[in-house]
Amino acid sequence: MGCGRYAPSPSGELHLGNLRTALLAWLFARSTGRGFLLRVEDLDRARAGAEEAQLRDLAAIGLTWDGVAERQTDRASGYADALDRLRAEGLLYECFCTRRDISEAPRAPHTPPGAYPGNCRDLSPGERAARRAERPAALRLRADVVQLSVQDDLHGEYTGVVDDFVVLRNDGVPAYNFAVVVDDHLQGVDQVVRGDDLLSSAPRQAYLATLLGARAPQYAHVPLALNADGKRLAKRDGAVTLGDLSTTRVVDGVEHGPVGPDRVRGVLLESLGLPGESLAAALEAFDPAALPREPWILDSPLTGA
């Protein structure tokens, strides 16, 4: 049996939706006898102090993980080896496109919406050299399929686009869809639980996993937490982090006292239809088939018990 994982980006404090997804990732892993890893995805967006705050908040709601939290920035050799493997198999090519180039490019009738139109796929060596003198190149995967089906614990079979997606950005940073696949492969992760806004990424990632000699993981894309307007929950929505909730605050003229992490965990578990008194009780009652399929709407201030 492999591992599950939770992989936050250290761009700020975790909000209630992030914590809810972390709880779900832990429950999925522990209920299936898997290990549970924590990976800090700090390749792109890292704010000073955010990693420490996130680890503190996850521990405060009772989550535990195996080993130490790993960082993507410590995994450069793994990314380099994967790129070398793909390059040796002729599966990478340089791309010099800007976003405008892509949006304005003519598309063949069979090109799925949102897919890369292939502008740089078949450039001659001379054309590549000329473009290289103008701007640095990204690296794209030369895919030989246009779509792929994956199985998801909550969504069933999902079929999505697989195009020539970027694996290495033109600033030399591994792209998200590439890095997470390499990370999961090297860490033995065979269960991926995350927000359902990332479901459309799963076919691309599953395809890349097979090229790297790995099996696609078991996926579970879980509903998001939304604000009263039906938009993704964010810190601007008010008291939605443990830090904010730990202080007395006034909302619409009403004073609300501090809300502790145990109370927060209880509310989050109850929003999933699980007993809120403890993680142990939630784990005993956990059944993926019974999980809500709709987003959790946070339309009123979270208050103490």
* Phi, psi (degrees; rounded to nearest 5) at 266: -60, -45
Query: Are 299 and 240 contacting, i.e. CB atoms less than 8 angstroms apart?
Result: no
Residue 41 assigned to a binding site: yes
**Is 239 known to sit in a ligand binding site?**
no
Cβ atoms within 10 Å, residue 41: 20
Looking at 128, 235, 256, 263, which residue is catalytic? 235
Q: Does 207 count as an annotated binding residue?
A: no
Q: Where are the alpha helices (DSSP H) in 11-116?
A: 16-31, 50-60, 76-88, 99-104
CA gap 61, 251 in Å, rounded = 24
Three-state SS at 78: helix
231 is catalytic: no
- Identify each DSSP E strand in 133-241 by its residue range: 138-141, 147-152, 156-161, 166-168, 191-195, 218-222, 225-227
Residue type, 65: W
For residue 176, give both structure tokens. Answer: 């998200």
Helix (H) and strand (E) counts in the chain? 10, 14
Give strand ranges (E) for 144-295: 147-152, 156-161, 166-168, 191-195, 218-222, 225-227, 249-251, 254-256
CA distance 21 to 161: 25
Task: Tell me if 139 sits within 8 A of 84, measured CB to CB.
Answer: no
Is 194 annotated to bind a ligand? Reply is: yes
Q: Is 3 annotated as a binding residue?
A: no
8 is annotated as contributing to ligand binding: yes
Distance CA 240, CA 297 (A): 12
Residue 7 marked ligand-binding: yes
Q: Which residues are annotated as a binding site for Zn(2+)?
A: 95, 97, 116, 120
Q: Which residues are annotated as a binding site for L-glutamate?
A: 5-9, 41, 176, 194
Q: Which amino acids are annotated catalytic? A: 235
Q: Which residues are annotated as a binding site for ATP?
A: 235
Q: Which residues are annotated as a binding site?
A: 5-9, 41, 95, 97, 116, 120, 176, 194, 235
